[in-house]
Amino acid sequence: MIKIKNISKIYNKGKFNEFIALKSISCQIETGSWTTVVGASGSGKSTLLKCLSGLERISAGEIYLDEEKISELSEKKLLLLRKNKISFIFQDYNLIEDLKMIENIFLDTKVDDSILTLANDWGVDDVLYRFPNECSGGQRQKIAILRALNQKSSIIFCDEPTGALDTKSSKEVLKVLKQINKERKTTIIMVTHNTLIEKISDYVVTVHDGEILSYEKNNLVTEVDDVQW
Ligand code: ADP
Ligand code: MG
């Protein structure tokens, strides 16, 4: 369970360009659930994900992960937590430009055949030995998702993970995420503009101007294949 208590995020605090991106937000995210975060551009969705995953420090409030207060961990402990428990699929992919795609996926871990099989299923097996700048946005996005899957974390934060993908590819990716969400009880927290993704989620959080406008449980969770895309 992730518990968020009155968290605020102020960028450039005390400077002329100070900006309050999150305004005393509270909510809870259940372990093993799929939570989708929606809201207009600039409403604070990415900021929320970055704060919850420890990529950004919050300005006020508290974040607990399974009863452990993670909002005040030292950099070292936070790094360890992120390495062991948390993966992040970035909106802008965040691939390392001078590593080949296959090195980006596996980093310092051994090559995992099940991930290579997925690369094959998703049609990116032929770009594994290319550098990121030799690939399309959709290919980069798939590689970034494979990197996150390879980490086998208990929580995956996904910031618009299908933004660069066509409908067919989006479905393939969502099906795999749904499968690990069900089988491994991986917690999925996903920002998206695709309203159809709300149908496959357990919870939908709507963010507006740095505040949570609504937090709704979906009582009719649909399988990826049963959604009319
Ligand atoms: P969303 O993901 O919903 O589009 P963001 O969380 O990226 O929104 O941004 C929320 C607001 O915070 C925006 O107005 C954005 O300009 C601002 N913001 C985001 N990151 C920074 C930053 N590093 N420094 C200053 N302002 C930022
Ligand atoms: Mg964003």
Task: Go through the chain and tell me how many residues it has.
Answer: 229
Q: How far apart are CA 138 and CA 18, in angstroms?
A: 34
Residues with CB under 5 A from ligand 2 (ion): 46
Mutate to test the pocket of ligand 1, among 7, 10, 11 (most ligand atoms within 8 A of CB): 11
Could you please report the per-residue DSSP string of 123-135? T-GGGTTS-GGGS
Contact of 107 with 147, CB cutoff 8 Å: yes
Q: What share of the chain is helix, strand, coil (3-state, %, to 5)?
A: 35, 25, 40
Chain segment 14-38, per-residue pLDDT in tens: 999 999 999 999 999 999 999 999 9
Task: State residue 42's pLDDT score.
Answer: 97
With a pLDDT cut of 90, the percent of the chain lying above it is: 99
Task: State residue 20's pLDDT score.
Answer: 98
- Closest approach atom of ligand 1 to CA 47: 6
- Closest approach atom of ligand 1 to CA 43: 3
Which residues, in sequence order, are CB contacts of 55 under 8 Å at separation 6+? 49, 82, 88
Instruction: Name the residue with the closest Cα to ligand 1, atom 19.
Output: 47
**Residue 116's CB: how many other CB atoms inside 10 A?**
17
Task: State residue 116's pLDDT score.
Answer: 98
Q: Which residues of the chain have pLDDT under 70?
A: none
Please state the pTM of the whole predicted model: 0.96
Q: Residue 206: CB within 6 Å of ligand 1?
A: no
Q: Residue 192: CB within 6 Å of ligand 1?
A: no
Q: How far apart are CA 43 and CA 41, in angstroms?
A: 6
Instruction: Name the residue with the closest Cα to ligand 1, atom 21.
Output: 11
Task: State residue 229's pLDDT score.
Answer: 86
Task: State residue 101's pLDDT score.
Answer: 98
